[in-house]
Amino acid sequence: MSWQAFDAPPAPTPTAAVLQASPIPQHISPAASAGGATSPAETHDGSRKRKRSSVVSPVGSSNGGLVHGVGQHHEHERNGSVSGSIDSPVTGKARHQPGVKRACNDCRQQKLRCNVVSGPGDYYKPCDRCVKHKLNCSIDNDFKRLGKRAAHEEMVKELDEARQKLAQFEALGMRLLGDTGPPFGSNGAPVANMAAPQAFLGPNEAAASRSLLDLSQGYREMPPTSYPSITPGTSPKSIRNVTLTEQQLSDLYEIYFSSFHPFLPVLNPEFRWDQYYALHPLLHWTIVAVAARRYDAKPSLLVELQHPLEEMIWTTLSQVPQIYHVCKALALLCTWPLPTSSTSQEPTMMLTGVMFQLAMQYGLHRPSHAQDFSRFRVDLRDEDIADRLNTWATINIVAQSLSTGQGQPPLSRWAWYTYGLHLNQMKPELHSRCQIEKFCDTVTRTLFTMQRDHIVEVDQSQRGLQIDMYWRELNEMEITLMSTRSSPIETLYLKAAALHLRLSAFFDKPTTPNYISGLRNVYIAASSLLTVILDLPQEIFHYVPRYIEQMILAAAVSLHKLLNSFYASHIDVPAARTLFSKSVNALRRLSVRSNDLPQRLAEVMAQLWQKSSSGEQKLFENDATNIKPDDSLQLHVRCRSSLSVLYDAIWRWRHQVGQEGRNNLERAVEHPTTISSESHTSRNTPQPPGLATTAPSAQALTGLGGLDHDALDMGWDQFNGNAVFDPLSWALDGNLQFHGGLGFGENTGLNFAV
């Protein structure tokens, strides 16, 4: 018998027919007979169940052909059920044991009885358990049962990792993008989200995804469609424990844009508070905090906002903000700082530096070339270029005014203002301020930069010519500005610039030919500035920036020094004393919280006045021609630019009043030092000292400028005058305490150690 007989289908023979008809199979092995027998279940319901085995006798047996034929008959009768379960001789692919009933995956995992029906063919009936519990009933050949303990430990580990990631995102204030308000934008153009890093992607994944989007789409720079919360619990209406209504927010924004905005017009009054929050939360809450300085409906709002806002500031900066609107918020905070009682704890100079560096990182110094400072495509419109230009101008204005007011080297850069493009798109108010502040920068760099170097002698004649040249330039600027747009605010800044220039006279030596004329110009500049400030209407005066407060102090100290020097006989002493007294009262009105810097500095001025009885001894010395200049007006502090006169006065005040006077600063909130009224109000016609009811003592007659300089030098050496110092910080450090009187109550807990 050949192999071809087994390969080809056998032809029906009489013997095969007899075998098929016979009830007892013949020439079939017992195993095959047992496997081929029909079970009662098959005969009862007509269905065929899988057989335990279907073993065919070896092909090489004597009756192999007959058995092969019977096997072929059973194969066709079972529709391939057996052939589907045994190993294929062609492919050799391993399969499960033929005829073994398998449970579904879930029942195998739980070791439960399963009545799944798989076959014949594609027929599949899920088991009752999976149907009852709505499980996916399936049978996989590569399924392996897992122990409950291992699965439980793996799930616990994954849950711990998820909780750690969630805690990290909550600590950063991250939330789902869908939780924020509606997107801020006017059209459907694709927006480049520059607000913050991706909330739920690592740095590599976020950068890669954004790069792919940048390559496939065109983007232009616009305000972000959403921005994650900076601090947990922050929303447009609430920050930490402070919650405001829509009406309160509208009122605060109205206060800001009507009163504070004219001093620094960097924002758009047409935007709503929710739109500014969409730009950046820090900008929104900074506007609210600035307006809260004069919010009579809730006087305690500024105190309540101070701590949450400070936390938001440092949290924002620690995350390296990716949107230039943060610079606007920092500019407002540097112009109207949060109240504090210590200059050493005030972060204004630090915030100014961060603001300036962030602005250059964003490319604001090249407003029309933002693409050069961005990793993605930026298409700027004209309004975008104008906003970036106005922001850059504001940053330079704030940096320059703060440097002048603090007596620090300037940080601003003005080359762009001379040779830059798109200057015609700048706001007229900012254009005027840029001219004034650029002038102050020039004066600082040329007249005050080298004053600390005593080795190099300055050519006094050349210095005098420079001062005269700058004075003529300032007069021309004033004429130009007043002819184009005359406003009290611009007049105020022009007078402050004039005082900044004229205070350089205190650095001249008494032997200088123009020394007397320089002091006269100081008196005129200080009197003009104080007169303009005191004549301001209340709707402007109460909202002046910190820079104006510092220039008020410089002008008042200048008058005080002149009233207690040889030059007092050259000036109108009663008028000067009246201006000084009103200046101290004006500083106290500018205070926004008890025991803040304006109130403490006003107390220092009052104590200086009380100790010196300024001008009393000079009222009847009419022979001014015989008075020779002396060194009573020379400064020991010479490294703080034009504000050296103020810091020098603080050192002298410490020497005069001692520890008792410094302690009085803490009690000045309840019992402020008053300036004697008879010095300038009740006595219209001064009387000679001999006819006065009470003659001042010799100690009282010793003015601030007329102190014994040997004694001053001794005190200076005791304080180590050559060290790096901050006189205001040393003199004014204290606790910002609120003892009631502002509607807070006695036990509000509003006691800060700033």
Give 591-650 as a DSSP string: -SSTT-HHHHHHHHHHHHHHHHTTTGGGTT---GGGPPP-STT--S--SSGGGHHHHHHH
Choice between 283 and 21, residue whose per-residue pLDDT is larger: 283
Per DSSP, the residues of 333-344 read HHHSPPP-S-GG
What is the average pLDDT score of the chain?
A: 74
Residue 612 shares a structural domain with residue 730: yes
Report pLDDT digits (tens) over 30-75.
444 344 444 444 444 444 444 444 444 444 444 444 334 444 444 4
In whole angstroms, give the CA distance from residue 679 to residue 235: 55
Residue 640 shares a structural domain with residue 522: yes
Residue type, 307: H
Q: What number of CA atoms fall less than 13 Å from residue 707's CA on the CB side?
A: 23
Looking at residue 401, its pLDDT comes to 96
Query: Is 361 within a domain?
Result: yes
Helices and strands of the chain, counted as H and E runs: 29, 8
Which among 54, 77, 100 is the end of a domain? 77
Q: C-alpha 202: how far from its chain's center?
A: 22
Residue 412 shares a structural domain with residue 547: no
Residue 410 shares a structural domain with residue 546: no
Encoding tokens for residue 672?
């402020």
Residue 432 shares a structural domain with residue 538: no
Report pLDDT digits (tens) over 402-419.
999 999 999 999 988 877
Q: Which residue has the tokens 């402070």?
A: 242
Q: How confident is the model at residue 350 (pLDDT cuts 50, 70, 90)?
A: very high
Query: Is 437 within a domain?
Result: yes
Query: Is 117 within a domain?
Result: no
Which residues span the domain enclosing 356? 331-367+391-444
Query: Is 579 within a domain?
Result: yes
- The percent of residues in the chain predicted with pLDDT above 70, rounded, is 63
Residue type, 192: A
In whole angstroms, give the CA distance from residue 558 to residue 560: 5
In whole angstroms, give the CA distance from residue 93 to residue 587: 95
Residue 427 shares a structural domain with residue 566: no
Number of domains in the chain: 3
Q: C-alpha 723: how far from its chain's center?
A: 34
Looking at residue 376, its pLDDT comes to 73
Q: At what angle do helices 546-563 and 644-667 cross, to 10 degrees?
A: 100
Report pLDDT digits (tens) over 649-678.
988 887 877 777 667 677 766 678 787 644
Strand partners, 117: 125
Residue 524 shares a structural domain with residue 407: no
Looking at residue 536, its pLDDT comes to 95
Query: Is 183 within a domain?
Result: no
Residue 425: how many other CB atoms lie within 10 Å: 16
Residue 598 shares a structural domain with residue 670: yes
Residue 649 shares a structural domain with residue 554: yes
Residue 439 shares a structural domain with residue 536: no
Report pLDDT digits (tens) over 540-549.
999 999 999 9
Query: Is 668 within a domain?
Result: yes
Residue 718 shares a structural domain with residue 612: yes
Query: Is 16 within a domain?
Result: yes
Per DSSP, the residues of 129-155 read HHHHHT------TT-----HHHHHHHH
Choice between 603 and 619, residue whose per-residue pLDDT is larger: 603
User: pTM for this one?
Assistant: 0.64
Strand partners, 737: 751
In whole angstroms, give the CA distance from residue 353 to residue 359: 10
Q: At what angle do helices 348-361 and 382-406 cross, to 10 degrees?
A: 150
Query: Is 562 within a domain?
Result: yes
Residue 583 shares a structural domain with residue 728: yes
Per-residue pLDDT at 1 exceeds 90: no
Pair 637, 451: CB distance under 8 Å? no
User: How does 252-290 read in b/e, with b if 16+ C-beta sit within 10 Å?
Assistant: bbebbbebbbebbbbbeeeeebeebbbbbbbbbbbbbbb
